[in-house]
Amino acid sequence: MSVVLSIIAFFLIFSLLVLIHEGGHFFMAKRAKVKVEEFGFGLPPRIFGKKYGETIYSINAIPFGGFVKLYGEDSTDKKISQNKRSFVAKSARARILIVCGGVIMNFLLAFFLLAFGFFIGIKPLFVDEKDVLQAIADNQIEIQQGEIQDKSLIYLPHFQVKNLNDDNIYGLVNGDVIWKVDGQNIWEISDFYNTLAKGLPQTMLVKRMVDGEEQEVILNFPLLGYVGISEVLADSAAESFGFEAGQKILMIDGHNMASPYDLINYNNANAGKQAKYTIEDLDGARKIVEVDIPGNGKLGLVLEPVFRMGIFNFDLVEGLIPYSILNIQEVKLPWYLSLKEAFVEIKRLSKATFIGISSVFYTIFSTGNVPEGVSGPVGIAQMVHLTIKEGFNSLIRLTAVLSLSLAVLNILPIPALDGGRLLFILIEVVMGKKSNAKIEAFAHQIGYILLLLLILLITYKDVMRLIFVKAS
């Protein structure tokens, strides 16, 4: 039954995308009073067609995309090109609107589907690894270490504690994975170093295996960072309060000062107020100095962080750990915020899709290989089959992404695509005269043949992938 539903869903989604895209061309052409000769589902050769009015509505053999055939679109006949109902006889503005009509409709469909999805609740859209890592950091994705049957697997970078010295004072044990420092996820070793650059951290969240189960342990750091005074400016407030170069500022009003950032932020937040500074003199003696913080928060001190880089007493070993994805939280918003979020996502996904599609074309034409993750009609049908198991909301999300991908693909300046036709019109506008009709028609024919070959290549790879998956 699920296979039947998947087939129905695939053809409904496919039909919707084609109808919306080609409907955009059709509507703009009718608006400009251009004769529409054929409205086709799929690509030729034609299987079935019926004429209503002046337009043939057809179903074609290659189940990928569709087309609207306009009178005089690729004609080299001067008599046809001069006919007022011919596509080429229309103004550049009218032709641009006709050519871009399909892309505009696909963008609008994607926008409204995403807005509706965010209103009823859909899972977030992840473009790259950074999106996934951020979602994990924001607790949108629930994960568990190790492989769990029927759960998606993701490999996350980790930094594991090794060779721990006996005098370690943090409460760490060998094998601990450092997950967060002061609330910041540690995905790269540079993240760990950046926390040190700001001064010693205060808390560390580690993942620890206890009796075969993963536990999260929060470790509190002792005060091992100080603010050093490297210089006291002449005639400054600090000089009047008796500060000296070489002293250390340990606390202000009982708050630990682990870095110059802590002190600067505290003074700015308490400008114009009196504060009690805990100072350590050059001989190690401690004292409290009452200070009137100036209105601008500046005492006239040149500060430096003071801490031992060797205090950690352990090695960090970088690696990858498999985690099973237990759950991905849905994003559900009020209607007015769903519209805003949909607009933001359209911009973000359009950019990522453009980069991705451009990379695919470059890889195919430079190596002759179809990159992993690229799918044609068969692969899309498989995606629909997998998505339908997740429910209606996931189908909404998939349809939106497919519509957006179709829009971005079609606007690329490739002959036979909408973007290729738009390119010739823009060249005409810039040059001030129409391009050679024969050259343009030949370019679109070549582009059409190459696109067919590309579709066949991708479909072949989709089929082979299915065969090998079933065989394994």
Mean pLDDT of 104-112: 94
How much is the pLDDT for 460?
64
How much is the pLDDT for 471?
43
How much is the pLDDT for 470?
45
Taking 80 as the threshold, does the pLDDT of residue 331 lie above it? yes
How far apart CA 213 and CA 151 sit, in angstroms, is: 18
Write out pLDDT tens, residues 253-274: 888 787 888 889 999 999 999 9
Answer whether 129-222+312-325 and 226-305 agree in fold: yes
Taking 50 as the threshold, does the pLDDT of residue 310 lie above it? no
List the single range of 205-214, 392-401, 425-434 with lowest mean pLDDT. 205-214
How much is the pLDDT for 206?
80
Taking 90 as the threshold, does the pLDDT of residue 251 lie above it? no
- The domain spans of the chain are 2-123+334-471, 129-222+312-325, 226-305
Distances (CA, A) of 330 to 116, 226, 252, 325: 13, 44, 44, 14
Q: Quote the radius of gyration of the chain (alpha carbons, Å).
A: 32
How far apart CA 427 and CA 8 sit, in angstroms, is: 43
Distances (CA, A) of 247 to 240, 280, 281, 305: 15, 6, 5, 12
Taking 80 as the threshold, does the pLDDT of residue 300 lie above it? yes
Mean pLDDT of 455-462: 66
How far apart CA 125 and CA 155 sit, in angstroms, is: 19
226-305: CATH class: mainly beta
Write out pLDDT tens, residues 81-101: 778 898 888 888 999 999 999
How much is the pLDDT for 313?
66
Mean pLDDT of 311-334: 80
How far apart CA 185 and CA 134 sit, in angstroms, is: 9
Residue type, 74: D
Task: Classify residue 2 as exposed, middle or buried by CB count within 10 Å of its CB (0-12, 13-18, 19+).
Answer: exposed
Percentage of residues in the chain with pLDDT exceeding 90? 19
Taking 80 as the threshold, does the pLDDT of residue 64 lie above it? no
Taking 60 as the threshold, does the pLDDT of residue 379 lie above it? no
Give the SS3 label for residue 158: strand
Strands of 189-314, DSSP E: 203-210, 213-220, 226-232, 248-252, 255-256, 274-280, 286-292, 301-306
Q: Which residue has the higher pLDDT, 103 or 174?
A: 103
Nearest to 330, CA basis, from 20, 117, 109: 117
CB 83 within 8 A of CB 298: no
CB 408 within 8 A of CB 350: yes
Write out pLDDT tens, residues 188-206: 877 877 776 665 567 788 8
CB 111 within 8 A of CB 343: yes
Query: Does the domain made of 129-222+312-325 have the CATH classification 1.10.3470?
Result: no
List the single range of 220-234, 421-435, 457-471 with lowest mean pLDDT. 457-471
Query: How many alpha carbons lie under 13 Å from residue 83 in its C-beta half-sphere?
Result: 17
Mean pLDDT of 153-162: 82
Q: Which residues pair with 457 in a beta bridge?
A: none
How much is the pLDDT for 432?
82
How much is the pLDDT for 147?
83
How much is the pLDDT for 243?
92
* Count of other CB atoms within 10 angstroms of residue 281: 12
- Tell how strand 141-145 and strand 36-52 pair up: unpaired
Q: Which residue has the higher pLDDT, 315 or 423?
A: 423
Task: Classify residue 251 as exposed, middle or buried by CB count within 10 Å of its CB (0-12, 13-18, 19+).
Answer: buried
Query: Which residue carries 């869903």 as its tokens?
Result: 9
Mean pLDDT of 134-153: 82
Taking 80 as the threshold, does the pLDDT of residue 295 lie above it? yes
- Residue 387: pLDDT band (50, 70, 90) is low
CB 295 within 8 A of CB 301: no
Distances (CA, A) of 219 to 214, 315, 435: 16, 17, 71
- Residue 383: pLDDT band (50, 70, 90) is low
Percentage of residues in the chain with pLDDT exceeding 70? 84
Average pLDDT of every residue of the chain: 81
CB 216 within 8 A of CB 239: no
Task: Please give the backbone phi and psi of residue 132, each rounded to the nearest 5 degrees, phi first.
Answer: -65, -45
Task: Classify residue 141 as exposed, middle or buried by CB count within 10 Å of its CB (0-12, 13-18, 19+).
Answer: buried
Write out pLDDT tens, residues 235-244: 899 999 999 9
How much is the pLDDT for 12?
79
Write out pLDDT tens, residues 344-368: 989 988 888 888 778 777 777 777 6
Give the SS3 label for residue 318: strand
Instruction: Kindly state the tokens that stand for 131.
Output: 């999106």
